[in-house]
Structure 1
Amino acid sequence: MGPGEVAAILFGTFALLVVLRVPVAFALGLAVVPVFFIDPRLTPVLLMREMFKSYNSFVLLAVPFFLLAANLMNGAGITDRLIRLARAMVGHLPGGLGHVNVMVSMLFAGISGSSTADAAGIGSLLIPQMKKEGYDSSFAVAITACSSVMGVIIPPSILMVVWGGLMSVSIGGLFLAGILPGVLIAGSQMLTVYIYAKRRGYPVHVRSTLIGLLTATLSASLALMTPLIIVGGIVGGFFTPTEASVVAVLYSLILGVVVYRSVTLRALPGILYDSARFSAITLFCIGTASAFGWCLAYFKIPAALVAQIEALGLGITGTGIMCALAFLLIGMFIDAIPAIIILGTVLYPVTVHVGMHPIHFAIIGVMSLAFGLVTPPYGLCLLIAASIGKIRLVDAMRDVIVILLPMIAVLMFIILVPDAILALPRWIMPKFVQ
């Protein structure tokens, strides 16, 4: 069989299974089985072998530990402290709670590395409060969902850890490259909130005093040290990403149990169970997606794609736009991690061929997949926010689209001006990022 026939079988079977509501993780594994039976050189045993090979990765150990750190931080009441700090910083602006929502998401992203933890933790506190103060339910849900995407863009990011481990890209370089896009997305969202507040007359809070700002900063200062410890430790070469994730867990544990005393020993088993359950789901997705990706590589489908795109004569910018569209599309239907394994590994040779920097490609991919968290039918962060706001998902779509448009403009800026995101990694890590 040629690459075209195999690709048709793989993606056709996968699409059919998804339509039949088979969970994506299982659909990815089952989609390769027909190919194994059709080709006499392959056996279904290879599916299990490739899955186990993908788990034999030191870097992937960081995934469950970062998830555990995020859950510990949530349990420790870190979100409340971050909300108080954000309110003191931007609560006096028109649409104060909307700005607080964005600012808290940006701060929490530097601690959790998970957008779903962001949407659930912050949404459960701010959406009811925004509705109480007169904000439209659709806007409260939309801004919570859209701001939560910063969780996987601002370092430390679980998606960047997976990407760097799979494609041998400097994870420290990815973390540094994610800072500017995260700040630009936050800025675009705050501008949107300002316009909404002026047009709809959303309330404004009293400006915080200097003493109030200092008190809130001191209250959240230990939590805000988390990204400095993780990113600084990796960039400075003190520990690997996996070791950094363990340090994050230990630091979160000390804050929750010893310093703040908001996490009791009785609550720890529940936090550990939830973290293990979500980690198992994520890692199972990685296993089946790796088997799917191996099948694509075995039949030289990426090479065939490179040849087809080469005939189009696309440069770095054209390839970047094409990759963004592909990631945006696939992110609407499946989770980001299997999308990275399937589509990222297929498109990577294409980007290398046109001379795109690996970090530039990674940031385009991560940002595009992050936006998929608020676009139906998958839109996991939007689903979480809508369930908290007690509205139908379709009722929030208009506001989501309005907030998403300037975020897409930020993505286009990253595609067109790669040196903007590469400047910080090149300055701080010149030996590793050329």
Structure 2
Amino acid sequence: MTGSVLSPGMAALILFGCFFLFMFLRVPVAFALALACLPILAIEPRLDTMNLMQETFNAYNSFILLAVPFFLLTANLMNVGGTTDRLLKLSRAMVGHFPGGLAQINVVLSMFFAGISGSSTADAASQSKIFIDAQTKEGYDLSFSVAITAVSAVLAVIVPPSILMIVWGGILTVSIGALFLAGILPGLLIGLAQMATVHAYAKARGYPTYPRETWRQLLCATWIAIPALMTPAIIIGGKIFGWFTATESACIAVLYAGVLSLMVYREMDLKGLYGALLDTGKLAGIALFCVGTASMFGWLLAYYKIPEAILAGVSTWGMGFIATGFFISLVFLVVGCFLDAIPAIIICAPILEPLAKGVHMDPVHFAMIGIVSLAFGLVTPPYGLCLMIACSIAGIRIRDAIKDTAIMLIPMLVVLGLVIVWPKVSLLLPGLISPEFLR
């Protein structure tokens, strides 16, 4: 920027150099982003702490971000209130007779839970407590149990309602209703790919299978689970048909989850409610603190016009539509290994958006490429938060589960390639149901 002491190159070197130094020193990501901004304040006389504090407040002063704690609270209320148990029984009735029955149930329950929580970390924590010990007792390898639990948890950021979709829509002004619809097919395809992977493992290693349940048992399990299955329908349907905004849908979901837990299933007491509120406060605090510090970091990138400097070199490569899609995916795959998905979106999405516009990529398609790519970062070291959670609960090192995790990511990469090459995978449902959401 004219009048600045630092050039874009020097500012980028200081920001990213300090950030990776703090990461190497094992400083939490959100704090590393904030601390990396401080040397700039000491060097640049035109900036002071008030600039960054104001930018951080502007990031928090967003009506749409209120949806984040409400979706987390919905998931915690339904977890405490017995909803997860009913979905578990339905999952067993549906796929328990498939090879590797308990692991198949693990994947299907993750798909159901993804339609409620929007948070992969919440899914990874709850699923790990349910499945890892149970699977090892039935003869599954511990590394496999950890890997499938962590990998299936990433569905929560792809299947709507996704917290990443809410953040992306708020940052780049993309229709959240369109993003919700766009995530359904990629999420189902990734879920099916994970089930196919479990099938192959079960056949190769002789993992146990449950007896097939009768149609009556399946119908009974479905009937009992219908109130729980209505939650994603209320959230997604209300947003799509314009009955309420994303934030309002999250609030209504909390009310519905409360009624379900207190009056229908009657399994939540005051102690359970307190625990749900406490867990929600912790998870929401972490997520929203990341939003603030990442916005601060991103504001400095924009101040020094670092994105324009980066794109000036990339745009000379002359990439076409598909090559641009794979380049965007590669950037998010690499960044996701080091950054949480929320700050990665805030920092990288605005930088890459002009590239997508340059090849006339639909904003919803661009968003799905980024979100699906960032989902991999939840299970890839050194960040790999879902994998860390699963390994911590299982009591093993990440290196012990990394081989099985890498194998399970291969079919997911195929689905990601399909999303990039064939835009209809993500744009089909938005185009059919609400074409006005698309560009």
Aligned to 1:303: 308
Structure 1 residue 353 displacement after superposition: 2.1
Structure 1 residue 387 displacement after superposition: 2.1
Aligned to 2:24: 19
Report Cα offsets for 1:61-119 as digits up to 9, x if no partner: 11111111111111112221111111101111111111111111111111111111111
The farther-off stretch of 80-89 and 344-353 is 344-353
Counterparts of 1:270 and 1:135 in 2: how far apart (Å)?
31
Task: State the number of aligned residues.
Answer: 434
Does residue 324 (structure 1) correspond to residue 329 (structure 2)? The answer is yes
Structure 1 gap segments, 5+ residues each: none
The one-letter amino acid of 1:420's match is V
Counterparts of 2:100 and 2:242 in 1: how far apart (Å)?
42
Counterparts of 1:30 and 1:68 in 2: how far apart (Å)?
30
Aligned to 2:13: 8
The one-letter amino acid of 1:284's match is F
Indicate which of 183, 186, 189 corresponds to 2:188: 183
Does residue 364 (structure 1) correspond to residue 366 (structure 2)? The answer is no
Does residue 273 (structure 1) correspond to residue 278 (structure 2)? The answer is yes
Contact 1:96 1:203 in 2 (8 A): yes
Aligned to 1:407: 412
Does residue 347 (structure 1) correspond to residue 352 (structure 2)? The answer is yes
Report Cα offsets for 1:192-227 as digits up to 9, x if no partner: 111111111111111000111011111111110011
The one-letter amino acid of 2:75's match is A
Structure 1 residue 40 displacement after superposition: 2.1
Structure 1 residue 299 displacement after superposition: 1.1
Does residue 77 (structure 1) correspond to residue 111 (structure 2)? The answer is no
Indicate which of 397, 404, 418 corresponds to 2:402: 397
Residue pairs, 1:154-173, within 5 angstroms: 154-173=159-178
When the two structures are superposed, what TM-score results if normalisation uses the length of structure 1? 0.98
Counterparts of 2:79 and 2:124 in 1: how far apart (Å)?
11
Report Cα offsets for 1:159-182 as digits up to 9, x if no partner: 100110111000000010000110
Indicate which of 219, 232, 236 corresponds to 1:214: 219
Counterparts of 2:275 and 2:367 in 1: how far apart (Å)?
34
Counterparts of 1:31 and 1:390 in 2: how far apart (Å)?
33
Contact 1:79 1:121 in 2 (8 A): no
Counterparts of 1:34 and 1:5 in 2: how far apart (Å)?
12
Does residue 120 (structure 1) correspond to residue 125 (structure 2)? The answer is yes
Counterparts of 2:13 and 2:411 in 1: how far apart (Å)?
35
Counterparts of 2:152 and 2:201 in 1: how far apart (Å)?
15
Structure 1 residue 21 displacement after superposition: 1.7
Counterparts of 1:46 and 1:244 in 2: how far apart (Å)?
33
Counterparts of 1:160 and 1:125 in 2: how far apart (Å)?
27
Indicate which of 253, 257, 268 corresponds to 1:252: 257
1:111 is paired with a residue of what secondary structure? helix
Structure 1 residue 10 displacement after superposition: 0.7
Counterparts of 1:54 and 1:353 in 2: how far apart (Å)?
27
Structure 1 residue 15 displacement after superposition: 0.7
Counterparts of 1:354 and 1:301 in 2: how far apart (Å)?
21
Aligned to 1:43: 48
Aligned to 1:376: 381
Contact 1:101 1:126 in 2 (8 A): yes
Counterparts of 2:219 and 2:392 in 1: how far apart (Å)?
35
Counterparts of 1:315 and 1:10 in 2: how far apart (Å)?
31
Report Cα offsets for 1:224-270 as digits up to 9, x if no partner: 00110000000000000000110111111111111111110232222
Structure 2 gap segments, 5+ residues each: 1-5
The Cα RMSD (Å) is 1.1
Indicate which of 109, 129, 138 corresponds to 2:114: 109
Q: Which stretches of structure 1, 4 residues or longer, exceed 3 Å deviation after superposition?
A: none
Contact 2:11 2:304 in 1 (8 A): yes
Indicate which of 164, 179, 201 corresponds to 2:206: 201
Structure 1 residue 391 displacement after superposition: 2.1
1:22 is paired with a residue of what secondary structure? coil
